[in-house]
Chain A
Amino acid sequence: MSSRDAILAALRRNAPSAMPLPEAPAAVAFADPESQFAEAFTSVGGKVIRVASLGNVNTELGNIESYAQARSIASLIPGIGRANVDLAALTDPHQLEGTDVAIIAGEFGVAENGAVWVPGSALGLHRAIFVVAQHLFLTVPASEIVHTMHQAYDRIRFEHLGFGVFISGPSKTADIEQSLVVGAHGARSCTLFLVG
């Protein structure tokens, strides 16, 4: 008997009697999901900048030190940022090492925890960009904020989507004496433009 069949047979043999599968309970709704989202994103170490339109992002970027000092910039949003990393020309994701800034479009945000949904399709050819870049800039339309994770998963469809990630702030660790240190392996800073 193969291990697969042996394991499945044992699980069937030892299974308890059938139990019902429940639905999720009614969840909290926020009076102002946009400001709740901004607050949550800030509380996890991110920075939120409100802009009226995507066009204003370029102006705002110029005022941010980590962006102003960046030498190597990769943008996955056409027309946003002075991109100088030709992502399409890279044959190997390891070539992303040394990228200072990545600019990526988030699809929607979650008010309860400040998470931004970034589907693989927003990451281009090499998904490593969101974690290899030293500083991460995200955009999310202000109209695309859901209250909780329940609504988030109501709208995500995994068919034909090999990859997707919720990002909530910069990379961090508290593994040394529980002191929070921002910038573990991924982005050292995470700035979010709430557009509209």
Chain B
Amino acid sequence: MMGHAAKALPFVSDEERAHWHDQALWFVRLKRDRQAESIPEWEALRESASAIKAHTLSRLADYLEEFERNARANGIQVHWARDGTEHNTIVHRILAGRGITRLVKSKSMLTEECHLNPYLEAQGIEVTDTDLGERIVQLRREPPSHIVLPAIHLKKQDIGELFHKELGTAQGASDPSYLTEAARGHLRQKFMAAQAGLTGVNFAIAETGGFVVCTNEGNADMGTSLPPLHIASMGVEKVIPRTKDLAIFLRLLARSATGQPVTTYTTHFHGPLRGGELHVVIVDNGRSAILHNETFRRSLACIRCGACMNTCPVFRRSGGYSYGYTVPGPIGSLLAPLRNPSHFGSLPFASSLCGSCSDVCPVKIDLHHELYAFRQELVRQKIVPLYKRLAMAGLSWVLMTTWAYCLASRLMRWFVPRLPRALVYGPWNPWGRQRELPQMPRESFRDLIKKEPT
């Protein structure tokens, strides 16, 4: 199993691009800061959001039942899926039952998680992702590299080239306005031809049986107000108790995500289009199992704003693909190994534990402490490789044993400057692959302090 560091190699090899990526995301982080600072009650909002999520998670089944009851009363058809396969089957059954072969989608990380697109395509349904960033990565046959900014890993020249090939734009043209205009024309045709629209769900409201979808482009609105059929896919954790709770989450979401005061469109669905159908598919896919886990259940409070990615020094410098999971970054480094610890065991280590993610999280998930706790869990489960476990146990013993520490320090100070470079920087020193060891001091701190007059 290839770990995070190995997967990051191609990204970090292009230093200039990695630097650009780092700066582009830091710019979004700064925009977020300006918005957060403009709200005097920002911290109190985060507290409330966190407490509402904690409350909702303690009564999730009740709220989902309430949502279902009210949604049905609104004329919405509600389906339940235990896992990704069942979700995909339900969506396909709805589409196939109505002879639908052309579907437009707005952004939904859940359908990425369930691998809906390849499933539907294999059954002859044309699926068009309509968020510009998602369309770009779809045309490149790639997954999104960031949950809010799906094509953040690409430069405009890459997109110019892609659109020249796929949409017939002028060769060498890379002006973002020109390329966006071309995509607008291309996707208008897709919207006009679509027989159904699929969206995610940002928030589902138990009290009213409706749900909210947020976009800046208006693609969710195009996709759900032209064709008569709308399918919305939501994870079980998306429900919130009351309409007034929406105010708290919407005040936090766009400000945290992109540094905007609110998204351009915040659309509330409480029933089907006139003469149409509205289906909601509620998906578990491992979430109820995460709820059981006392240490990590808070990860279910995530509202998918991406702020932890934008601020993470590791994400910014290693790119979304280095995580190998639908949701990358600090929150993904919990969600992925919760799903499959042996496959994603390197992700909790893809963090400097600096705590910046926890500081920006709008629902106050204690991300860096959870990542740290996950490392210990992985050691307990023996998923961390043996050499690393032995090295950690050895180091731990040395650091706790005075005479061993003194001896080790003396040996290092004597040997390291005298040994040939090839020996010090051999394959057994991965730390030294990109770094120089510090100059060895002649005397230890202990020696120095002994010489000090008391």
Measured CB to CB, the residues of A under 8 A from B are 2-4, 6-28, 40, 43-44, 93-94, 97, 110, 112-115, 125-128, 130-132, 148-150, 152-154, 156, 158-159, 161-179, 181, 183-187
B219→A175 contact, CB < 8 A? no
A21→B241 contact, CB < 8 A? yes
A112-B251, A158-B268, A173-B217 as given contacts; A128 in contact with B180, CB under 8 Å: no
- Residues of B close to A126: CB separation below 8 A: 225, 274
Interface majority SS (helix, strand, loop, mixed), chain B: helix
- Most chain-B Cβ atoms within 10 A of its Cβ — which of A93, A97, A161, A184? A184
A131→B187 contact, CB < 8 A? no
- Residues of A close to B260: CB separation below 8 A: 44
- Residues of A close to B289: CB separation below 8 A: 10, 14
B271→A176 contact, CB < 8 A? no
Q: Is B246 on the interface with A (CB-CB < 8 A)?
A: yes
B24→A175 contact, CB < 8 A? no
B187→A168 contact, CB < 8 A? no
A186→B218 contact, CB < 8 A? yes
A163→B271 contact, CB < 8 A? yes
Measured CB to CB, the residues of B under 8 A from A are 24, 27-28, 39-41, 44-45, 47-48, 51-52, 54-55, 57-61, 64-65, 74-75, 80-82, 86, 130-133, 136, 149-152, 154-156, 159, 176-177, 179-181, 184, 187-188, 191-192, 205, 208, 210, 216-219, 221-222, 225-226, 236, 241, 243-248, 250-251, 258, 260-274, 282, 284, 288-289, 291-292, 294, 297
A165-B268, A184-B132 as given contacts; A10 in contact with B221, CB under 8 Å: no
A22-B52, A44-B264 as given contacts; A178 in contact with B149, CB under 8 Å: yes
A21→B52 contact, CB < 8 A? yes
- Residues of B close to A115: CB separation below 8 A: 262, 266
A52 to chain B, nearest CB (A): 28
Complex CA distance for A3 and B271, rounded to whole angstroms: 24
A and B contact pairs by CB, cutoff 8 A, 27 listed: A7-B64, A7-B284, A7-B288, A10-B288, A11-B60, A18-B58, A19-B54, A20-B51, A21-B51, A21-B52, A28-B40, A28-B41, A110-B262, A112-B261, A115-B266, A149-B247, A152-B247, A158-B210, A161-B270, A167-B264, A175-B151, A176-B132, A184-B184, A184-B218, A185-B130, A185-B187, A185-B219
B269→A40 contact, CB < 8 A? no
- Residues of B close to A165: CB separation below 8 A: 221, 265-268
- Residues of A close to B132: CB separation below 8 A: 173, 175-176, 184
B251→A149 contact, CB < 8 A? yes
- Residues of A close to B246: CB separation below 8 A: 149, 153
Apart from A13-B292, A16-B297, A165-B221, what 13 extra A-B contacts exist at CB < 8 Å? A24-B244, A40-B261, A94-B226, A127-B273, A128-B221, A131-B218, A131-B222, A132-B225, A149-B251, A159-B208, A163-B270, A174-B258, A185-B191
A127→B225 contact, CB < 8 A? yes
Complex CA distance for A181 and B183, rounded to whole angstroms: 12
- Residues of B close to A183: CB separation below 8 A: 180-181, 184
B48→A175 contact, CB < 8 A? no
- Residues of A close to B244: CB separation below 8 A: 24, 150, 153-154
A11-B236, A131-B222, A179-B176 as given contacts; A184 in contact with B271, CB under 8 Å: no
- In the A-B complex, the 6 residue pairs with the closest CB atoms: A186-B218, A162-B271, A25-B44, A113-B261, A184-B217, A175-B133
A175→B218 contact, CB < 8 A? no
A128→B225 contact, CB < 8 A? yes
Complex CA distance for A159 and B40, rounded to whole angstroms: 33
B454 to chain A, nearest CB (A): 55
B54→A175 contact, CB < 8 A? no
- Residues of A close to B187: CB separation below 8 A: 185
- Residues of A close to B131: CB separation below 8 A: 175
Interface majority SS (helix, strand, loop, mixed), chain A: loop
Complex CA distance for A141 and B120, rounded to whole angstroms: 47
A25→B41 contact, CB < 8 A? yes
- Residues of B close to A178: CB separation below 8 A: 24, 27-28, 149, 152
Complex CA distance for A48 and B196, rounded to whole angstroms: 35
A171→B264 contact, CB < 8 A? yes
B288→A130 contact, CB < 8 A? no
A6→B264 contact, CB < 8 A? no
- Residues of A close to B45: CB separation below 8 A: 24-25
Q: Which of A94, A114, A179 contacts B262 (CB 8 A)?
A: A114
B251→A11 contact, CB < 8 A? no
B323 to chain A, nearest CB (A): 20
| Chain A residue at minimal CB-CB distance from B189 | A97
A39 to chain B, nearest CB (A): 10
| Chain A residue at minimal CB-CB distance from B136 | A175
Complex CA distance for A187 and B297, rounded to whole angstroms: 41
B77 to chain A, nearest CB (A): 13
B225→A93 contact, CB < 8 A? yes
- Residues of B close to A148: CB separation below 8 A: 247, 251
A183-B180, A185-B219 as given contacts; A175 in contact with B150, CB under 8 Å: yes
Complex CA distance for A116 and B292, rounded to whole angstroms: 41
- Residues of B close to A43: CB separation below 8 A: 261
- Residues of B close to A164: CB separation below 8 A: 267-268, 270
Complex CA distance for A128 and B62, rounded to whole angstroms: 34
Complex CA distance for A154 and B236, rounded to whole angstroms: 26
- Residues of A close to B52: CB separation below 8 A: 21-22
| Chain A residue at minimal CB-CB distance from B40 | A28
- Residues of A close to B291: CB separation below 8 A: 10-11, 14-16
